[in-house]
Amino acid sequence: MQLDMRSVIIALASLGTLGLIFGAGLAIAAKKFAVPTDPLYDEVLGALPGVNCGGCGYPGCAAYAAAVARGEVGINLCPVGGNDLLVNLAKIMKLEPAATLERQVATPYCDGGAQEAGTRFLYAGILDCVVANAMSGGDKDCQYGCLGYGSCVKMCVFGAISMDENRIPVVNEAKCTACGMCVKGCPKHIFALRPSSMQVHIRCRSHDKGKDVRKKCSVGCIACGLCVRACPVKAITMENNLAVIDYTLCTNCGLCIEKCPMKTIHGPLSAQSTK
Protein backbone atom coordinates (compact mmCIF):
# COMPACT_ATOMS: atom_id res chain seq x y z
CA MET A 1 0.00 0.00 0.00
CA GLN A 2 1.35 3.31 -0.99
CA LEU A 3 1.36 5.80 1.84
CA ASP A 4 0.29 9.22 0.76
CA MET A 5 2.78 11.35 2.66
CA ARG A 6 1.11 14.58 1.65
CA SER A 7 -2.18 13.83 3.38
CA VAL A 8 -0.36 12.62 6.49
CA ILE A 9 1.55 15.88 6.67
CA ILE A 10 -1.56 17.96 6.08
CA ALA A 11 -3.42 16.07 8.81
CA LEU A 12 -0.52 16.49 11.24
CA ALA A 13 -0.03 20.12 10.43
CA SER A 14 -3.67 21.11 10.60
CA LEU A 15 -4.39 19.31 13.87
CA GLY A 16 -1.11 20.57 15.32
CA THR A 17 -1.92 24.14 14.35
CA LEU A 18 -5.40 23.83 15.78
CA GLY A 19 -3.90 22.52 19.02
CA LEU A 20 -1.38 25.34 19.17
CA ILE A 21 -4.01 28.01 18.56
CA PHE A 22 -6.33 26.55 21.18
CA GLY A 23 -3.47 26.10 23.63
CA ALA A 24 -2.42 29.73 23.20
CA GLY A 25 -6.01 30.85 23.64
CA LEU A 26 -6.35 28.85 26.84
CA ALA A 27 -3.05 30.19 28.15
CA ILE A 28 -4.27 33.74 27.65
CA ALA A 29 -7.61 32.89 29.24
CA ALA A 30 -5.84 31.27 32.19
CA LYS A 31 -3.91 34.49 32.78
CA LYS A 32 -6.96 36.63 32.39
CA PHE A 33 -9.27 34.59 34.58
CA ALA A 34 -6.65 33.54 37.11
CA VAL A 35 -8.07 33.17 40.60
CA PRO A 36 -5.45 33.96 43.22
CA THR A 37 -5.24 31.02 45.61
CA ASP A 38 -4.41 31.40 49.24
CA PRO A 39 -0.68 30.67 49.68
CA LEU A 40 -1.62 29.10 52.99
CA TYR A 41 -3.80 26.62 51.09
CA ASP A 42 -0.90 25.55 48.90
CA GLU A 43 1.33 25.01 51.91
CA VAL A 44 -1.30 23.01 53.80
CA LEU A 45 -2.04 20.91 50.74
CA GLY A 46 1.67 20.25 50.34
CA ALA A 47 1.92 19.05 53.92
CA LEU A 48 -1.06 16.69 53.74
CA PRO A 49 -0.38 13.09 52.73
CA GLY A 50 -2.28 13.45 49.45
CA VAL A 51 -3.82 9.99 49.52
CA ASN A 52 -7.40 11.35 49.29
CA CYS A 53 -8.75 8.62 51.59
CA GLY A 54 -11.57 10.77 52.98
CA GLY A 55 -10.75 9.89 56.58
CA CYS A 56 -11.07 13.54 57.61
CA GLY A 57 -14.64 13.68 56.35
CA TYR A 58 -13.81 15.85 53.33
CA PRO A 59 -13.92 14.54 49.74
CA GLY A 60 -10.15 14.69 49.44
CA CYS A 61 -6.97 16.31 50.70
CA ALA A 62 -7.61 19.46 48.62
CA ALA A 63 -11.01 20.06 50.20
CA TYR A 64 -9.62 19.54 53.69
CA ALA A 65 -6.65 21.81 52.96
CA ALA A 66 -9.02 24.55 51.83
CA ALA A 67 -11.04 24.22 55.04
CA VAL A 68 -7.90 24.29 57.18
CA ALA A 69 -6.51 27.30 55.32
CA ARG A 70 -9.76 29.18 55.92
CA GLY A 71 -9.40 28.31 59.58
CA GLU A 72 -12.79 26.59 59.69
CA VAL A 73 -11.66 23.27 61.10
CA GLY A 74 -8.97 21.94 63.35
CA ILE A 75 -5.68 20.62 62.04
CA ASN A 76 -6.15 17.29 63.77
CA LEU A 77 -8.71 15.67 61.45
CA CYS A 78 -6.27 13.86 59.20
CA PRO A 79 -5.77 10.42 60.73
CA VAL A 80 -3.14 9.40 58.21
CA GLY A 81 -0.43 12.00 58.76
CA GLY A 82 0.05 11.27 62.44
CA ASN A 83 2.24 13.36 64.69
CA ASP A 84 4.57 14.69 62.00
CA LEU A 85 1.67 16.20 60.13
CA LEU A 86 0.25 17.78 63.28
CA VAL A 87 3.58 19.45 63.98
CA ASN A 88 3.93 20.62 60.37
CA LEU A 89 0.39 21.96 60.16
CA ALA A 90 0.73 23.71 63.49
CA LYS A 91 3.84 25.42 62.12
CA ILE A 92 2.11 26.44 58.87
CA MET A 93 -1.04 27.66 60.59
CA LYS A 94 1.01 29.27 63.40
CA LEU A 95 -0.88 27.39 66.07
CA GLU A 96 0.37 25.96 69.33
CA PRO A 97 1.54 22.40 68.69
CA ALA A 98 -1.26 20.18 69.91
CA ALA A 99 -0.72 17.38 72.38
CA THR A 100 0.86 14.42 70.66
CA LEU A 101 -1.51 11.75 69.51
CA GLU A 102 -1.15 8.09 70.17
CA ARG A 103 -1.06 6.14 66.92
CA GLN A 104 -4.26 4.23 66.39
CA VAL A 105 -5.06 1.13 64.42
CA ALA A 106 -8.33 -0.27 63.15
CA THR A 107 -9.31 -3.53 64.81
CA PRO A 108 -12.03 -5.99 63.84
CA TYR A 109 -14.13 -6.69 66.92
CA CYS A 110 -15.36 -10.11 65.87
CA ASP A 111 -13.56 -13.40 65.63
CA GLY A 112 -16.50 -15.61 64.72
CA GLY A 113 -15.51 -16.77 61.26
CA ALA A 114 -16.88 -19.61 59.18
CA GLN A 115 -15.63 -22.24 61.67
CA GLU A 116 -16.79 -20.62 64.90
CA ALA A 117 -20.14 -19.08 64.03
CA GLY A 118 -23.09 -20.74 62.33
CA THR A 119 -25.35 -19.46 59.58
CA ARG A 120 -29.12 -19.09 59.46
CA PHE A 121 -29.66 -19.60 55.75
CA LEU A 122 -27.81 -20.19 52.54
CA TYR A 123 -26.86 -16.81 51.08
CA ALA A 124 -26.35 -16.85 47.35
CA GLY A 125 -26.39 -13.15 46.52
CA ILE A 126 -23.62 -10.72 45.62
CA LEU A 127 -20.54 -11.43 47.75
CA ASP A 128 -20.54 -8.10 49.55
CA CYS A 129 -21.30 -7.39 53.20
CA VAL A 130 -23.45 -4.33 52.52
CA VAL A 131 -25.64 -6.28 50.09
CA ALA A 132 -25.78 -9.31 52.38
CA ASN A 133 -26.70 -7.10 55.34
CA ALA A 134 -29.65 -5.70 53.41
CA MET A 135 -30.95 -9.30 53.24
CA SER A 136 -32.49 -9.29 56.74
CA GLY A 137 -29.14 -8.69 58.38
CA GLY A 138 -27.10 -11.31 56.55
CA ASP A 139 -26.74 -15.05 56.88
CA LYS A 140 -24.78 -15.19 60.16
CA ASP A 141 -26.59 -16.68 63.13
CA CYS A 142 -25.16 -13.90 65.26
CA GLN A 143 -26.70 -10.65 64.10
CA TYR A 144 -23.77 -8.66 65.50
CA GLY A 145 -21.04 -10.69 63.82
CA CYS A 146 -18.78 -10.20 60.82
CA LEU A 147 -20.48 -11.31 57.59
CA GLY A 148 -17.13 -12.23 56.10
CA TYR A 149 -17.68 -11.04 52.50
CA GLY A 150 -14.76 -8.64 52.71
CA SER A 151 -16.34 -5.26 51.98
CA CYS A 152 -13.75 -3.77 54.32
CA VAL A 153 -10.97 -5.14 52.11
CA LYS A 154 -12.41 -3.18 49.18
CA MET A 155 -12.92 -0.06 51.30
CA CYS A 156 -9.36 0.12 52.60
CA VAL A 157 -7.47 2.32 50.16
CA PHE A 158 -4.22 1.46 51.90
CA GLY A 159 -4.53 -2.29 51.36
CA ALA A 160 -4.18 -2.93 55.07
CA ILE A 161 -7.09 -5.36 55.40
CA SER A 162 -7.23 -8.90 54.11
CA MET A 163 -9.58 -11.79 54.79
CA ASP A 164 -8.12 -14.95 56.30
CA GLU A 165 -9.22 -18.44 55.29
CA ASN A 166 -11.74 -18.35 58.12
CA ARG A 167 -13.44 -15.30 56.52
CA ILE A 168 -12.45 -12.86 59.26
CA PRO A 169 -10.68 -9.59 58.41
CA VAL A 170 -7.04 -9.27 59.41
CA VAL A 171 -5.54 -5.81 59.77
CA ASN A 172 -1.93 -5.28 58.82
CA GLU A 173 -1.12 -2.81 61.57
CA ALA A 174 1.96 -1.52 59.81
CA LYS A 175 -0.12 -0.45 56.82
CA CYS A 176 -3.16 0.80 58.76
CA THR A 177 -3.36 4.60 58.91
CA ALA A 178 -6.50 4.75 61.07
CA CYS A 179 -8.35 6.68 58.38
CA GLY A 180 -11.54 5.11 59.70
CA MET A 181 -13.12 4.15 56.37
CA CYS A 182 -13.68 0.58 57.57
CA VAL A 183 -15.12 1.85 60.85
CA LYS A 184 -17.71 3.87 58.94
CA GLY A 185 -18.20 1.41 56.10
CA CYS A 186 -18.72 -1.94 57.84
CA PRO A 187 -22.49 -2.59 57.89
CA LYS A 188 -22.07 -4.55 61.13
CA HIS A 189 -19.80 -1.95 62.74
CA ILE A 190 -17.17 -4.58 63.43
CA PHE A 191 -14.27 -2.14 63.28
CA ALA A 192 -13.16 0.38 65.83
CA LEU A 193 -9.95 2.33 66.32
CA ARG A 194 -7.78 1.35 69.24
CA PRO A 195 -4.48 2.86 70.46
CA SER A 196 -1.80 0.70 68.90
CA SER A 197 0.04 0.19 72.19
CA MET A 198 -3.11 -1.18 73.83
CA GLN A 199 -3.05 -4.66 72.48
CA VAL A 200 -5.59 -6.29 74.78
CA HIS A 201 -9.00 -6.12 73.19
CA ILE A 202 -12.25 -8.06 73.35
CA ARG A 203 -13.16 -9.41 69.95
CA CYS A 204 -16.91 -9.49 70.14
CA ARG A 205 -19.75 -7.08 69.41
CA SER A 206 -22.65 -9.26 70.56
CA HIS A 207 -25.14 -7.86 73.04
CA ASP A 208 -27.00 -11.20 73.12
CA LYS A 209 -27.40 -13.05 76.40
CA GLY A 210 -24.60 -15.48 77.22
CA LYS A 211 -26.79 -18.53 76.56
CA ASP A 212 -27.69 -17.29 73.09
CA VAL A 213 -24.10 -16.38 72.26
CA ARG A 214 -22.99 -19.91 73.17
CA LYS A 215 -25.49 -21.37 70.72
CA LYS A 216 -24.42 -19.11 67.87
CA CYS A 217 -20.66 -18.73 68.21
CA SER A 218 -17.81 -20.54 69.93
CA VAL A 219 -15.67 -17.45 70.48
CA GLY A 220 -18.24 -14.81 71.47
CA CYS A 221 -18.41 -12.90 74.74
CA ILE A 222 -20.92 -14.69 77.01
CA ALA A 223 -20.85 -11.92 79.61
CA CYS A 224 -19.67 -14.32 82.34
CA GLY A 225 -17.80 -11.50 84.07
CA LEU A 226 -14.61 -13.48 84.80
CA CYS A 227 -12.52 -10.81 83.11
CA VAL A 228 -14.20 -8.06 85.13
CA ARG A 229 -13.19 -9.83 88.34
CA ALA A 230 -9.73 -10.74 87.03
CA CYS A 231 -8.76 -7.22 86.07
CA PRO A 232 -6.52 -5.77 88.80
CA VAL A 233 -7.15 -2.17 87.74
CA LYS A 234 -10.91 -2.49 87.13
CA ALA A 235 -10.56 -1.44 83.49
CA ILE A 236 -13.17 -3.92 82.28
CA THR A 237 -16.88 -3.34 82.72
CA MET A 238 -19.88 -5.31 81.56
CA GLU A 239 -22.11 -3.17 79.37
CA ASN A 240 -25.30 -4.70 78.04
CA ASN A 241 -23.96 -8.29 78.00
CA LEU A 242 -20.61 -7.33 76.50
CA ALA A 243 -17.29 -6.78 78.25
CA VAL A 244 -15.71 -3.41 77.43
CA ILE A 245 -12.15 -2.28 78.21
CA ASP A 246 -11.47 1.29 79.29
CA TYR A 247 -8.12 2.10 77.68
CA THR A 248 -7.44 4.97 80.04
CA LEU A 249 -7.09 2.37 82.80
CA CYS A 250 -5.84 -0.79 81.03
CA THR A 251 -2.22 -1.71 81.71
CA ASN A 252 -1.89 -4.45 79.11
CA CYS A 253 -1.23 -7.02 81.86
CA GLY A 254 -3.13 -9.71 80.00
CA LEU A 255 -4.67 -11.43 83.05
CA CYS A 256 -8.12 -11.23 81.43
CA ILE A 257 -6.85 -13.07 78.36
CA GLU A 258 -6.00 -16.13 80.44
CA LYS A 259 -9.27 -16.05 82.34
CA CYS A 260 -11.63 -15.73 79.36
CA PRO A 261 -13.34 -19.12 78.90
CA MET A 262 -14.35 -18.36 75.32
CA LYS A 263 -10.91 -17.05 74.24
CA THR A 264 -12.65 -13.85 73.12
CA ILE A 265 -10.01 -11.53 74.52
CA HIS A 266 -6.95 -11.05 72.37
CA GLY A 267 -3.70 -9.41 73.26
CA PRO A 268 0.08 -9.68 73.14
CA LEU A 269 0.00 -13.07 74.87
CA SER A 270 -2.60 -14.80 72.74
CA ALA A 271 -1.41 -16.66 69.69
CA GLN A 272 -4.36 -15.58 67.54
CA SER A 273 -3.59 -11.90 67.66
CA THR A 274 -0.39 -12.43 65.76
CA LYS A 275 -2.07 -14.21 62.87
Mask 35-54, x = binds another protein (CB under 8 A)? x-------------------
Using CB under 8 A, pick the residue from 2, 7, 240, 274 that binds another protein: 7
Asked if 27 touches another protein (CB under 8 A), the answer is no
CB of 29 to another protein, least distance (A): 5
Using CB under 8 A, pick the residue from 26, 95, 126, 233 that binds another protein: 26
Using CB under 8 A, pick the residue from 29, 95, 233, 249 that binds another protein: 29
Can you give the chain as a three-state secondary structure string? CCCCHHHHHHHHHHHHHHHHHHHHHHHHHHHHCCCCCCHHHHHHHHHCCCCCCCCCCCCCHHHHHHHHHCCCCCCCCCCCCHHHHHHHHHHHCCCCCCCCCCCEEEEECCCCCCCCECECCCCCCCCCHHHHHHCCCCCECCCCCCCCCCHHHHHCCCCCEEECCCCCEEECCCCCCCCCHHHHHCCCCCEEEEECCCCCEECCCCCCCHHHHHHHECCCCCCCCHHHHHCCCCCEEEECCEEEECCCCCCCCCHHHHHCCCCCEECCCCHHHHC
Using CB under 8 A, pick the residue from 1, 2, 5, 33 that binds another protein: 33
- Interface region with another protein, contact rule CB under 8 A, candidates 11-19, 74-82, 108-116, 185-193: 11-19
CB of 14 to another protein, least distance (A): 6
Asked if 271 touches another protein (CB under 8 A), the answer is no
- Interface region with another protein, contact rule CB under 8 A, candidates 10-18, 46-54, 102-110, 255-263: 10-18
Asked if 30 touches another protein (CB under 8 A), the answer is yes
CB of 42 to another protein, least distance (A): 16
Asked if 11 touches another protein (CB under 8 A), the answer is yes
* Contact footprint for another protein (CB under 8 A): 7, 10-11, 14-15, 18-19, 22, 25-26, 29-30, 33-35
